Structure 1
Amino acid sequence: MISDRKLEHLEICKNKDIEHHITTGFEDIQLVHTSLPEVNYEEIDTSIELFGKKLSSPLIISAITGGHPSSKKINEKLAIATENTNIGMGVGSQRAGITNPELTDTFTVVRDNAPHALIIGNIGAPQVEYAPKAIEMLNTDALAIHLNPLQEIIQPEGDVDAKGYVEDIKAICSNTNIPIIAKETGAGIGMEDAKILEKIGVDAIDIQGVGGTSWAAVETYRAENPDLGNLFWDWGITTAVSTVEVLESTKIPVISSGGIRNGLEAAKAIALGSECVGMALPFLKHAYLGHNYVEEKINQFTHELKTAMFLVGASNIEELKQKRLIITGKTREILNELDIDTKKYARRI
């Protein structure tokens, strides 16, 4: 059953090593320090406008859970923290709550406890018929369409028929009146896919790259034979590379996520051009302790982000997007192979 699988996922993410063995690539990206920042730290504005709502910090708690009774308390704590700190929050795949009404409250608890927050719903690409109910369930501000071919091929009960994804997503975009986000689940999005997604009407892309939670790893713990999952544990595009690829190939908003763990990494992603960042696993682990711990993590993130902004002389997020970056190492090598000029980031004035 879907509900049982959701519980297994939660337990594995809480208790097992499920992160990629390779990094996000953000260690190859350096913001350029200024000794004359000419800003007052106390006046730095980290707020952004996203999907019609103003967030106090460019942060979204990425889709984590829903669909099992045990996930209700987690979503409740995450939602309370989201409302209290005025950031955004996504929920896990809503299919379980749509097809099993007794599980609906594991999702609706989010809007109940975050009535004013930016809430992002979640369905899979083949689930066109679920879109209206997913939106109605949470009065969502945006709807994420999750793309998870890697997870499906490793998952014991995975759906490995990926034909028709493009037409399905196009149909969802055509038949809904709220922003649609295409969202990977840990393997990143490349420039060609990004161009297709923009062309068929997607309003934003959440890249969810390699460097954080590996869903191949999660499913490896559930599989009878772990060999395939171990082999593809680190499959995908690193978060730093994927972020640049999507930004270089589209004009729609980009959410950078996948292994981002602090405000400094977020500052780098935003300086590349991302609208905001998503984080999941750290908030899941804090949610087991209580919403106050989640709020502490959010406030720590914002303090780290503001510190980076102070050190580059950015008084707001739009100014941060104009600050110089130096891209080195393997990240630069990969981007150069893709004919992306990494020097232009260092030439900003």
Structure 2
Amino acid sequence: MIKKTIAAAVAAAVIMVGVGTIQVNAVPGKDLQILPIIVNGQKVRFPDTEPYVNTDGRTMVPVRFVSEMLGADVTWENSTQTAIIQYEGKTIRMPIGSNTVTVDGAAEELDTAAEMYEGRTMVPLRFVSEVLDSKVEWDAGAHSVKVTDAKYQAKVDTGEVKLDPWGREYSKTQDDKWFRLADLETVGFYDFYSKTATTSRTFIEDRSNTYVSTGNVLASKIRNYYAVQLNVDYRTIDEKAFTKAFMNSASGRITKNSYLEGQFEETIKRYVKWVKDNKVITKGYADPELSAVHGIGTSVWIPTHFKFIIISAKDSNQAFLDSWDVSSLSDAVKLKTGVWYDGYSDVRMNSVVAEATWGEDHGIANFENMFVKDIYFYNMSVK
């Protein structure tokens, strides 16, 4: 896998609505931050539709991926529009649009119904996980959900499996540069960043007392800003809201310097106008990797998982502010509409505090993070 490779096709929907059937559409809530789901120490990678909190306040997930990671089999019964989950002799039937489900033939009433969204069958995470004998925990600081079954928890309790502070499984292969995570090894993360990054392990070890709390704060800044930057719609984009989102997450070197602040505000103003003129609609998520942070001097780089799609744009090559009118520091990328792009890049953060190397005062240092030369890689070709 190399820096400028991105996969060419969107994975086909696993559970689709049959031709001519009636579809019950979900109406997700307003939170556009990615909602990581960690199942038995592995962060789930969804090929397209991500989990969301619905209007009933329940976390909804694509039924197949979480269920299969817990050892269940999932099928779709088109004639009744029902997802069927089979697990260790147990059968769960979840009809689309109905709050009534059956477990081995016995009816149960849920406070939210399974729903169809973007061609995926979405089901309430807590019910499905618990009926599959797993524990569900919400980690507010990390903005993530952990799902763990008894067999895996026993391995954690005996020390057979070790987890990072956010519930992700450490690889059996470690080195002096990284706290290696098993799920990041499978996507070629270390193959790429071992060639480019300074030592992450030493950086983290030197800041062990404040690392988790500070990391959660900085990750929240990245998620909050990119929830706005990656989810634009020319029909509803608001310049003031966009500017506020950036400034709330930006470095004090920008927000405490009236000239620089004005320059950044002017760039956002021109970009918003461009979005409207070019009828841009995009969707995406940013998920910081806190076990791989590295830094030099007052700057900190947080490798971040970016996932995004351009739904519409006259010029798709500049749809995001990160790829719009870029400087010589970034690659001018060619992106297609209707394709999910998925990969990693570093978000640079710095502080206005003299000689600060790690702290909650750090903020995003610039607009260009997703395609900075030599520090990103995706699983599709970007030329």
Which category of TM-score, normalised to the shorter sequence, fits these structures?
A: under 0.3
Determine which structure has greater relative contact order: mean sequence separation of CA pairs < 8 Å that are 6+ residues apart, divided by chain length. 1
Bigger proportion of residues as helix: 1
TM-score by length of 2: 0.23
TM-score by length of 1: 0.25
Bigger proportion of residues as strand: 2
